[in-house]
Homo-oligomer: A and B are copies of this chain.
C-alpha cells in the first residue's frame, strides 16, 4: 500500500482552481491554508508586472511551480503560426520575470487540419522557442490533453506522443506534464510514467478527478468525487522518481460558484484522503 500524504509540503494550487480570487487574494488565502506551491495562470497576471508579482508571491512564502500556459502552435496560416511563436517567446520572458521555473504547454490543434499536420507544427513551434527557453532558464512541459480535446485544443493526446516530441527535440529543458484528468484512462499509463521518469522528463504532476462531464471544459471533479485511482497513479509517479509538487488543477463552474475558502479546505482534506 502507498503511504498517504501526511502534510501539505508538496501541495500546490493552480490559481485557476480558485478562479474567483484575484492573485493577491489567492496568495493570501493559500498562505493561511498552509499551502506551499502555486502555479500561476497568465490570466491572473493580466495588467500587472510579472517580476513584482513574483516577489509578492515569494514574500508570502510560496514557491512558484509553473506558469500556465504556453503552446497553441498549430494554425492554418504561416503568419498565425509565427504569431503563436512570438506569443510563446513573450510567455518565456514572463515566466523568467515571475521566477517560474517552467511553462506548461497546451500544444494546440486546428479543426479541419489533420492531427499529423498539427503534430508537425507543434514540433516546429517548440523547436523555435526552445533556445530562448534554455537561455532564460525556463523549462517547457508538454501536457498531453484528453482525446476529447484532439480536434481543437491539443493534437498531443498521450504521454507516449509527448515523449516522441521530446525524443525528436532532445533538450534537458523539454519534458512532460502529466495531468491525471487527461491520461487516467490510458492502458499504458504506468509504463509511460516510468519511462518518463527514467528519461528525467516527468516535469510536473497535476491532479483532479473525473466524473463523466456534462461540460467537457469546466466540469472537473474534486479528488474523491470521481473515479481516478489517484493514490495508485501517485505511486507510479513516485516509482518513476517524481518527488515534486502535486498540483491541484480543477476547472469547475460548480466549485467556482462555492465559497472558495471552504473549497480550499476540502481540497486539503481530500488531498490527504485520496491522493
Interface residues of A (CB under 8 A from B): 111-115, 146-152, 157-158, 160-161, 184-187, 210-213, 216, 226-227, 229
Contact B111 A149, beta carbon cutoff 8 Å:
no
Tell me the bound Cα distance from A150 to B160 in angstroms. Answer: 19
Contacts of A148 in B (CB 8 A): 146-148, 212-213, 216
Contact A212 B149, beta carbon cutoff 8 Å:
yes
15 example contacts (A-B, Cβ-Cβ < 8 A) are as follows A111-B211, A111-B212, A111-B227, A113-B227, A114-B229, A115-B185, A146-B147, A148-B148, A148-B212, A149-B212, A151-B226, A152-B212, A157-B187, A160-B187, A212-B216
Tell me the bound Cα distance from A32 to B110 in angstroms. Answer: 39
- Say how many copies of this protein the assembly contains: 2
A187 — nearest CB in chain B belongs to which residue?
Answer: B161
Which of A147, A150, A157 has most chain B Cβ within 10 Å? A147
A213 — nearest CB in chain B belongs to which residue?
Answer: B216
Which of A113, A115, A212, A213 has most chain B Cβ within 10 Å? A212
Task: Contacts A212-B148, A212-B149, A212-B151 given; indicate if A227 touches B112 (C-beta within 8 A).
Answer: yes
Known: A114-B229, A152-B212, A213-B216. 6 other contacts (CB 8 A): A147-B147, A147-B148, A148-B148, A157-B185, A158-B187, A212-B216
Contact A150 B185, beta carbon cutoff 8 Å:
yes
Tell me the bound Cα distance from A229 to B115 in angstroms. Answer: 10
Contacts of A185 in B (CB 8 A): 115, 147, 150, 157
A149 — nearest CB in chain B belongs to which residue?
Answer: B212
Nearest 6 Cβ contacts at the A-B interface: A150-B185, A147-B185, A148-B148, A111-B227, A151-B227, A147-B147
Min C-beta distance of A60 to chain B, whole Å: 38
Tell me the bound Cα distance from A222 to B216 in angstroms. Answer: 21
Min C-beta distance of A215 to chain B, whole Å: 8
Tell me the bound Cα distance from A131 to B112 in angstroms. Answer: 44
